[in-house]
Amino acid sequence: MQIVKYPHPTLRHKSKPRSRVDSELRQIIRQMFEVMYEGKGIGLAANQVDLPYRMFVINLQADPEAVDEEHVFINPVIVKRSGSAEGEEGCLSFPNIYTPVRRPEKVVLTAYNPAGQEVTYELEGLHARAVQHETDHLDGVLAIDRLSPTARLAVKESLAGLEREFESDRRGGLIPDDNQILDRLAKLEKLRA
């Protein structure tokens, strides 16, 4: 399992809900936490590890020892948004890029946990920001889509750098072409439907 970086096409994939929580999914969740900790991230969505599943993990401490801070959100739905706040966001698929993003300050979200139970969360602050950032990923939406024109201009060069890296990796055979990637995602989705 590896983190895919912008502009990898899986980051633009809108994932469908999973119909069940099984041992395979629980194993993927464990691996996602490990990959997230290696990258020193606080959240990771399945798209970011090239999987078309509607789920993400977070640990705001970015610390594998802080087990109580580990949260898994399967088929999350944001049911209520309120307020507005700006905060800096980073993303493991955009290494070394941090940028101010304006989002609702509080959210109510429902999701399934790894035990298959539906849970309702009332979140604010960094917690609310993280789950919105990750839920966006599941819809193929990226933080760069939510930037002010000024913030967008500020990251333009960095994004162009990532695009060049991606093209170079692809030429080097490290990344399959778009059709192969989309075929693979469609097959995985069918398998799990």
Positions that interact with Zn ion (CB under 5 A): 91
In the complex, the smallest distance separating the C-beta of residue 123 from Zn ion, rounded to whole angstroms, is: 17
Structure token digits, residue 78:
């944001």
Whether 155 contacts 99, CB under 8 Å = yes
Indicate the DSSP class of residue 9: G
- Nearer residue to Zn ion within complex by CB, 22 or 50: 50
The answer for residues whose C-beta is within 8 angstroms of residue 104's C-beta and 6 or more apart is: 81, 82, 83, 84, 85, 128, 132
* Active-site position among 70, 86, 134, 157: 134
- Nearer residue to Zn ion within complex by CB, 56 or 179: 56
How far, in Å, CA of 104 to CA of 133, rounded?
11
38 as an active site residue: the answer is no
How far, in Å, CA of 116 to CA of 64, rounded?
23
In the complex, the smallest distance separating the C-beta of residue 133 from Zn ion, rounded to whole angstroms, is: 6
In the complex, the smallest distance separating the C-beta of residue 116 from Zn ion, rounded to whole angstroms, is: 26
- Nearer residue to Zn ion within complex by CB, 58 or 74: 58
Nearest-CB residue to Zn ion? 91
Which residue numbers are catalytic?
Answer: 134
